């Protein structure tokens, strides 16, 4: 019987590539998405589509309301999504998002008896988010093995970050080599309800440049 893994899937380019990698490694994949009050909710439909296309064992959507604490352009409509390059940690950073998401993934992994969690964080083209760095992932993995029954009983949990040192172009090339169809993925921070991308936000710019550098035709639907 194959080992189980929980894969955080947003419906975007990176997490879709990670799911393809986990499938290739032979894991029974359980995908987890979050309806957290994000303005780009069309990514949830993309996550569902990706999960069905890759025939995962189960796809779960957990509802949270991170908009109730605000603090991010992705959860507070009063804060504009920047359409020009900015310095420092951008306003699209959602406070503690990856910590919240990974904690819930950790809980589901325990319930499933899974020792592996996959997440598409990236330290190269990562928009300056502090919870996408290798040292953060290492710290969370240490905490996870201290804080869970599974960890205490010797069933060590691993946080897998296969994209951590890859450029966006390398990620796209890795996905293409595994047959990933990026046409229905949604990366845009202000995508329409139908999933069409704005083409100008930080995420769109990184994605667009990635396809150029990978020498792959960009299949993104732009509004």
The residue to which tokens 């390398």 are assigned: 170
**How many helices (H) and strands (E) would you count in the chain?**
7, 5
User: How many other C-beta atoms can be found within 10 angstroms of the C-beta atom of residue 208?
Assistant: 18
The verdict on domain 4-214 having CATH code 3.40.50.300 is: no
Cα gap 212→108, rounded to integer Å: 37
Q: How many CA atoms lie within 13 A of 166 on its CB side?
A: 21
Cα gap 38→33, rounded to integer Å: 12
pLDDT in the model for residue 125: 66
Beta strands 158-160; 116-118: pairing state: parallel
pLDDT in the model for residue 126: 57
Asked if 16 contacts 182 with a C-beta cutoff of 8 angstroms, the reply is yes
Kindly give, in sequence order, each residue whose CB lies less than 8 Å from that of residue 202, ignoring residues fewer than 6 positions away.
82, 85, 86, 90, 92, 127, 189
Kindly give, in sequence order, each residue whose CB lies less than 8 Å from that of residue 115, ignoring residues fewer than 6 positions away.
3, 4, 109, 150, 155, 156, 157, 158
Domain boundaries, the chain: 4-214
- One digit per residue, pLDDT tens: the chain, 223 residues? 899 999 999 999 999 999 999 999 999 999 999 999 999 899 999 999 999 999 999 999 999 999 999 999 999 989 999 998 877 888 999 999 999 999 999 999 999 999 999 999 998 765 678 999 999 999 999 999 999 999 999 999 999 999 999 999 999 999 999 999 999 999 999 999 999 999 999 999 999 999 999 999 999 999 8
pLDDT in the model for residue 174: 98
């Amino acid at each position: 019987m194959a080992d189980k893994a929980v894969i955080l899937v947003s419906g975007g380019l990176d997490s879709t590539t990670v799911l393809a990698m986990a499938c290739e490694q032979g894991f029974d994949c359980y995908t987890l998405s979050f309806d957290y009050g994000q303005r780009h909710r069309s990514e949830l439909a993309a996550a569902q589509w990706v999960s069905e296309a890759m025939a995962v064992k189960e796809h779960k959507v957990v509802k949270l309301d991170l908009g109730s604490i605000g603090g991010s352009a992705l959860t507070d409509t009063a804060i504009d999504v920047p359409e020009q390059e900015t310095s420092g940690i951008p306003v699209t950073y959602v406070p503690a998002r990856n910590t919240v998401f990974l904690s819930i993934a950790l809980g589901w992994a325990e319930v499933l008896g899974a020792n592996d969690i996959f997440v598409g964080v990236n330290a190269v083209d990562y928009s300056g988010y502090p919870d996408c760095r290798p040292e953060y992932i290492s710290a969370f993995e240490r905490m996870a093995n201290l804080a869970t029954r599974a960890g205490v009983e010797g069933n060590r949990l691993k946080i897998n970050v296969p994209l951590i040192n890859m450029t966006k172009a390398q990620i796209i090339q890795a996905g293409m080599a595994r047959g990933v169809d990026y046409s229905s993925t949604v990366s845009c921070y202000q995508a329409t309800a139908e999933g069409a991308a704005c083409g100008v936000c930080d995420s769109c710019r990184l994605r667009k440049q990635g396809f150029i550098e990978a020498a792959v035709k960009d299949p993104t639907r732009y509004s």
